[in-house]
């Protein structure tokens, strides 16, 4: 809750989420049982999001350099309730896709939680993936995973970020480069290619607890990610 209050203050405007925080952050409260996307059938999901996740093209998290405000490649990292602005961004891009089916973009979400029961709107997120026609990919990471957990576990660190970025998106001009057993060398080439990729608008947006965001920012900086130009951190 604390980090989202700060977020609201920083970006207050046409995309203001101040009136939407209460229903979104209280899925377990007595009055919220009918508000959770996980409790809605698919025919009602669009109406739900139109009410709680309606973005504006003028919002600073969208791509001001593009007429449609979409990013070509959008990496999103969320911790717990930090999923809120990511849902807004995903909704905006997928809504635009309904209007322009030939628009080509890629959305990647790394969603961190402590336990599997802490994952907000798991069923709805999977619905979004299924409805995205391959344009949205979600990776989950838990610090306390169950014994049969098959996705990522632990805290987000440099190694996880390197693999998550490079496994999901290959920058223009890097397709002929192989790792050759030297991951440090490969990631250096990868980051150089990412910086020089002029064909695509690329952004990485992170929202979550302040300590988590501080750690991710440090890790991204250590692996050479261009945080000044291509990253936004919401604490």
Residues annotated within a binding site for FAD: 84
Alpha carbons 195 and 189: distance in angstroms, whole number? 10
- Which residue, chain included where needed, has tokens 């207050």? 12
Sign of the Cα pseudo-torsion (56, 62, 63, 66, in order): negative
- How far does Cα 96 stand from its chain's mean position? 17
């Amino acid at each position: 809750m604390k980090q989202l209050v700060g977020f609201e203050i920083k970006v207050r405007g046409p995309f203001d989420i101040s009136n939407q925080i209460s229903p979104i952050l209280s899925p377990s409260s007595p009055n919220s049982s009918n508000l959770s996307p996980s409790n809605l059938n698919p025919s009602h999901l669009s109406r739900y999001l139109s009410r709680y996740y309606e973005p504006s093209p003028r919002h600073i998290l969208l791509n001001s350099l593009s007429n449609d405000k979409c990013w070509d490649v959008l990496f999103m990292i969320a911790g717990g309730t930090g999923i809120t602005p990511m849902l807004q961004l995903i909704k905006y891009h997928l809504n635009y896709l309904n209007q322009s089916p030939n628009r080509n973009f890629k959305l990647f979400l790394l969603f961190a939680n402590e336990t599997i029961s802490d994952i907000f709107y798991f069923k709805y997120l999977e619905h979004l993936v299924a409805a995205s026609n391959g344009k949205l990919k979600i990776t989950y990471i838990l610090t306390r995973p169950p014994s049969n957990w098959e996705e990522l576990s632990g805290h987000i660190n440099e190694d996880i970020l390197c693999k998550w970025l490079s496994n999901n998106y290959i920058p223009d001009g890097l397709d002929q480069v192989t790792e050759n057993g030297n991951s440090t060398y490969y990631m250096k080439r990868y980051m150089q290619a990412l910086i020089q990729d002029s064909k695509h608008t690329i952004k990485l947006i992170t929202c979550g607890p302040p300590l988590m965001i501080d750690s991710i920012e440090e890790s991204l900086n250590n692996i050479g990610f261009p945080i000044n130009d291509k990253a936004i951190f919401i604490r």
